[in-house]
Structure 1
């Protein structure tokens, strides 16, 4: 990916743990790497197709000066998020914040913190089989849209499917959602948990009825297995109610575990059913 670099931007601001740092202020030196596609700008010599580095420098200066944080870790995190949210063309950003006047009373040149943050692509399965099922799904999608760190890119049609797992219950309404998010997988899991709780989701019976159910199917091409989260979703390749909506919005999105895309996995299930 192409990169625009802003090196050693000097900003006088008020950040630090010590009270005098917040009152008197000091110099901070900020370096920025903006990862974006500048090919068209290079071909046309038109700034419209790039990111204006002068504007970014002014933006970072303003954001640095209008806030007061104790830690430069917090400042770096904040600046990275603000840039990604404000500049749509920027896919990834690296920020280094240096504090050359850090009050450590030792002969050092500077202290610094570097962070790299980026947009991630995630896919969710959504389902409901209690009450106003369409209303529950629409409400969940709207809650995702309201999250400042998340962009809803695509929403599939909703399909009616029979329940699985052997529990007697009503049919489900199912769909899939494509997201762009600044959240980590764990933070995304926390968000969808909050959405489920806000819609009175209760986990009483395994595979039982629910007002709304949101599951992370894919997160970039990462393979994650922790106590609380497994990605790709363990049952994705075996569930037509997952694959059919996914084939509508992302037929060629791949399962990193087997290298198969959604369309291939759907065809595999259909082949088993026909044989």
Structure 2
């Protein structure tokens, strides 16, 4: 088992409960960590034997473009897509951060973090 991380994926998107947030949009940071068996790819040196981090980045960018009220919803969509699109992933953790959130204070970011494990029958 091994870990692949794709960190600090920067995305401009339109999430939030306030009308202004969905209209104007804001900056987000997404961090992703997936666990998979990396032993085969370590031996074969073939992309087809591992989790493609280009695919992971594309999933994040595509799912971030669909507006949602809550970051939890976006994170769950990202996790669901990872498990659908890449059968090698056994476990995934995603963190979605809204940078400079409009919450009436000097706050750098708010972040949610969710983890999902592949069910044995998938």
Q: TM-score range by the shorter chain?
A: over 0.9
- Aligned equivalent of 2:106: 107
Does 2:80 correspond to 1:81?
yes
Report the count of equivalent residues: 122
**Distance in 2 separating the partners of 1:91 and 1:85:** 11
Unpaired segments of 5 or more residues in structure 2?
A: none
Q: Which runs of 4+ in 1 moved over 6 A?
A: none
- Aligned equivalent of 1:57: 57
Greater RCO, CA 8 A, separation 6+: 2
Cα distance, 1:25 vs structure 2: 0.9
Cα distance, 1:39 vs structure 2: 0.8
Root-mean-square deviation (CA), in Å?
Answer: 1.1
**Distance in 2 separating the partners of 1:14 and 1:87:** 27
Structure (1 or 2) with the larger CA radius of gyration: 1
Listed as ranges, the matches of 1:114-133 within 5 Å are: 114-121=113-120
**Distance in 2 separating the partners of 1:71 and 1:84:** 21
**Distance in 2 separating the partners of 1:22 and 1:109:** 19
TM-score, normalization by structure 1: 0.43
- Aligned equivalent of 1:31: 31
Unpaired segments of 5 or more residues in structure 1?
A: 122-178, 181-275
Cα distance, 1:55 vs structure 2: 2.2
**Distance in 2 separating the partners of 1:109 and 1:20:** 19
Listed as ranges, the matches of 1:103-182 within 5 Å are: 103-121=102-120, 179-180=121-122
Cα distance, 1:53 vs structure 2: 0.6
CA contact (8 A) 2:95 2:114 kept: yes
TM-score, normalization by structure 2: 0.94
- Aligned equivalent of 1:5: 5
Listed as ranges, the matches of 1:195-274 within 5 Å are: none
Say which structure is richer in strand.
2
